[in-house]
Chain A
Amino acid sequence: MTTLQVVAPTLEVAVSVALLSFVVVVAVLTAVVRDVLTAVVVFAAYSLGLAILWVLFHAPDVGLTEAAVGAGVTTALFLLAISQTVRPAGGRTLVDPRTVKPSSVVVALGVTVGLLLTVPALPPVGAADTPAFGPVSDFYLADAADRGVDNAVTAVLVVYRGFDTFGEIAVVFAAAVAVLAALGRETLA
């Protein structure tokens, strides 16, 4: 029994590693694929992989948002955008390495290294002194129940971070109006 209890977390790590490798491969493919439609399709696969990762990390709400926005809305908007473009005629599937600007590769690598440098500053997974395990979580869980909101995530979004959510709604509304205005102009022209 004990060996099995050791094996299960190892397998969870195996799933994470497989998913992370999948996501990295898909991200690189999105950058180097030459056909725009293929890039959009590959990017949808990237979103799906990322959303499974969120679910695996016990954040199904984030996973749902990632799937709906990343794989759904973004893909539809990209398709709308590339419907106004022309496909490159035949030729190679991947971008010619000689046409890639060295400066963009340097910038991409620089950002990646910079982000990786911040990883050691993060607390280890499950560390007892992270804020999530402090008295704050208990307060929110108890207080949200007192306010009659069943879902703690919903309570944080609409009660404790109400103004932040309000601002987000304003941004989303402005974006929707801009998209509709742009689309309306296309059909009128």
Chain B
Amino acid sequence: MVFKVIKMALEISKALNREIENTLKKYPNKEAALLPLLHLLQKEFGYVKKEVMELAAERLDVPYSKVKGVATFYTMYDKKPVGKYHLQICRNISCSLRGAEDVLNSVKEHLNMEVGDTNEKFTLSTVECLGACGTGPVMQVNDDYYEELTPESVKKILDSLK
């Protein structure tokens, strides 16, 4: 195609490439691997930037517009850079009944951050139900859940994140 300018700005390591190949084997077509591929690329490159979406489109042979549509539909794909620790505090019903707002306020005060802020170390977000309602309030930090939080315990957790 004349109009296609292939930019391979991002380097894929051998290990990542192997992981992508293994992921593709799970599905009868390449397109179905888009969600797992975006997870892998986000882990490798920090967030789903334009180059990541271009790379995914190239790799799976789907239009860039489709990748962008998918990447922006799902909340777990970060479209902006995030801190080393992405703090995601559940604001939904069961957690809020158990004091999620106080936990959030404690985090805001302790880190001097507002929801949506990012600094080098942290990004602070509120999220919808994390599916751990019996042990709320809950905060997800990157891949880990912290449960049964109190305004005090959450500060200790934040201090332990180096």
Q: Do A and B bind each other?
A: no
